[in-house]
Chains A and B, each alone.
Chain A
């Protein structure tokens, strides 16, 4: 949905019904750019917004929130094992067994070129059943008028005593360009709607990026990227522990070709490596039954190549081949005075080697319609890498020395047709498979604070396979865009934790042990809609809707399914002033999964007001923004928030930006 917005920029993605939110106005061209900018302003509600704040406003995205930072993005009704989150096509695995480190925390919005969200059809970048979020990094630009440019921002928010500082500096020459950026965020414990302070919700983090581009020829570029991210204390009020320290280092080297009208129009080759280190911390919690250390590390090395081949005016072929190897390790050491240390592996050392090929063939039989066939095949192999890991898993399995090998097959067809000058429709059907996650395969007494159970993996899990379909209809004129998408899918071998009554818990206070198992199937459906209106007198209206529905094969509601939600905004520009009113509302969610100990979530209404003043002094642009989020101090939470922790209350913010 919202698909037609970037249609001019990349026809293929549009037809495949993806959402592309471009952060950089430069990359969006064409007649709809004004509306695209509106959408961007709509998603990026304030300049201090994090990548997850932006994602949270997108109708396809559900955020699983455990603290004020580090929420996990999910798509539609799909859970975290079913969705891939990538940075510039690179695979990155979190190092936390409790998913406290979603990949989205490593890219700051000022370093984002766009967010590609693929929900329908087959993912070209990796096998999954739920879709892909790909955070595309900004690139340095050669040959700019000014060889040095940059921006600094500073802001404060009242609800968490939150400071935000960021800077960005770019150098641009004829043949090379460098872009650097750094962001520092520090927030205290926030005040929830209605007044209560949420303990252990503070956080502090530092992010920096460096990107260098060198023009080899007119059409070939070489690019090196490095991302650095350190979190020093990140509170998770919904979990029994916080993050003491988290570090990610992400590096890549790319070779890119872009030659319009050439037979091989677009090519990209990338080698990359990344490592994430994660240390949990319970020393700031009262009444800890037993102090423990829980470190984890993930390391991924990979490479991929992509190419788009023009086979004539109406046919195009896109190819991709990729390879990656991920090493994971997490352990837990428990300390009891007077007792020897108790040590165990929570992710026994394991390695996953993945290689895949994908192809998309696009054909336009006439000027009004196009057909896209996409396919992808992945070979996965996961195995334990140390004797300690194999020894430990003898507790659960007969053959911990055997590797888990799975071949994943994916296929989709999309048909798009312009029904009239203003109406367009797209229909997609797909078959997709996904690999069980490392936690689902090897997890060893992973405590899940959502339902209070210890989770244990198993290596004989079958791959989930999904049959998916969706239909969208859009209406667009130069002033109005209306789009609607309805989707449905059935996921066979749906992987869920199943209560094992005879197994004892490990975690003190846990209710029992659940072991991952393939269920019959899960049924999911839902709809999204968007309305964008470029009203008279420089007024813009954006409104998005979503509804999700999911059950298992016995008709029981699936957990973590958000209810109907609407976000609307009205924006008016007068001279140098911009004013915006936002409203967010959700109805109550009564369809809960009792086995996952979900409870009803009441509906809520939340209003925001935003003001901005922009001015220029010589070549420097200044923007001062201010506003109030949760104007009425509503006490609310969303259904996918863990631990029934209320969201921030009334939050007054100011933000000064200066770019040159």
Chain B
């Protein structure tokens, strides 16, 4: 790839990643500050955390009554769960960037690479969908 070609997919991908990572990082800092400052009550009070953080993930979910998958999304009113929003945004940044890339590959007739990008998006969406956590302990 050319080093100085701001129109190519590589540079476009860089711009999308840059924007998404920056926004995600700012949102994470803000939401964590909100969590610690306490305007939104957490589901688990901070001083009680040491009772929970030694539990395995399945036991922790059981103790909180949270199921595997997207059920955390229904608890965003709690300060601790609000932090999941920027975290999931960061976890979705690469998916957004790849989705944005697809039309560029198509326009440049890079069908093989475009096909790989489509497969990549499908793999990441499969992970993000929560389908694979059905039956997870």
The judgment on whether A and B are partners is no
